[in-house]
Amino acid sequence: MLTRRQMLLAPLLLSACGRRDGPRPLFAADAHPDEYPTVQALYAIDRLLDERTNGEMRLRVYAGGQMGAEKDTLEITIFGGLDLNRVNLAPLNSIVPETVVLALPFLFESIAHARRVFDGEPGRRILERMTPHGLKGLCYYDSGARSFYNTQRPIRTPDDLRGLKIRVQNSDIYVAMVQALGANPTPIPYGEVYQALIQGVVDGAENNWPSYESSRHFEVAKHYSLTRHVMAPEVLVASTRSWDKMTVEEQDTLLAAARDSVPIMRATWDKRVADSRKRVLAADVQLVDDVEHSAFAALMRPVWDQFVTTPEMQDLVDSIRSLGQGEKNDDD
Ligand code: GTR
């Protein structure tokens, strides 16, 4: 993790490195390891930029959380030390209030519904709301559905979760969701959750299949319950400081490459979800797929009233609901 001083020096150091041989690449951070679909999407952007600009625009990807936890890399991005950052929407919740809407529990009917929202007007509107906060929202990436897993016991009903210590992302709505279920939320950076599970600092966490697998949490927390309570996406943001230094043509090229990386990412994602699920189930993970969703949804419902606090947020919720088509939830 970077110290405050390194953070302050970062833009200087980074631009100094670039001057020697031609235009410097755009610096991009991601908390996931190289083979993860979000990182692969960043490499896809790099390829597209390379092809479309004859190598004039490129990306240098810092994967695996080497630039720090998402909360810290976002801060670095806002003051221009990083040009691009792929994060979950959760660490943005305290910066851009409208992003909270996409994390409302049981908001989406299905992955297809969520994708229509990310690609549609509500998704675009939420990306636009990031600009005044120093972040230019470029595109969303899939993050599937998040479900609870733990080291202790199978979870079928909210009662089974009662009293367990559950790691959550650094966001008030995740804290509130876990509290609403009668469990004890503990915000911990993603990179520290594996140790926390081993040491019993927490009993469980919640995430999608690929993160559950890639983080190796499945080795320690063997009970995975398909609660599918949140379908908030990943997001790729640019620093408005870097963005404002680009020519309009460069901005258009970067935005087009980011948008074109979305279908590429989705194809990798769908395959990865299926593969991760298969891999963890082969490693003795105990899957609970007959979860009482209605009981979870009922207890978590007050979170909506607590977090939808402005007419704009309510309007976003209404437009998101209007894009539902009565589909059943997919099973992963
Ligand atoms: C993953 C997400 C990461 C991070 C992580 C977490 O699904 O891709 O960006 O947010 O969850 O739980 O912290």
Expressed in angstroms and rounded, the spacing between residue 66 Cα and the centre of ligand 1 is 15
CA triple 284-286-292, angle to 5 deg: 165
What's the pLDDT at 11? 52
Contact (CB, 8 A) for 221 and 167: no
Domains, the chain: 4-141+233-275 (3.40.190.170), 146-231+288-322 (3.40.190.170)
What is the tens place of the pLDDT at every residue in 262-306? 999 999 999 999 999 999 999 999 999 999 999 999 999 999 999
For residue 190, the ligand 1 atom closest to its alpha carbon is 13
What is the tens place of the pLDDT at every residue in 18-61? 444 668 999 999 999 999 999 999 999 999 999 999 999 999 99
For residue 90, the ligand 1 atom closest to its alpha carbon is 10
The pocket around ligand 1, CB under 6 angstroms, is made up of: 31, 70, 87-88, 90, 143, 169, 190, 207-208, 211, 234
Q: Whose CA is nearest to atom 1 of ligand 1?
A: 211
* Nearest residue to 70 via CA among 273, 259, 235, 264: 235
In 10 A of CB 331, how many CB atoms?
Answer: 9
For residue 208, the ligand 1 atom closest to its alpha carbon is 7
- Angular region, 328: left φ>0, alpha ψ -120 to 50, beta rest: beta
Expressed in angstroms and rounded, the spacing between residue 89 Cα and the centre of ligand 1 is 9
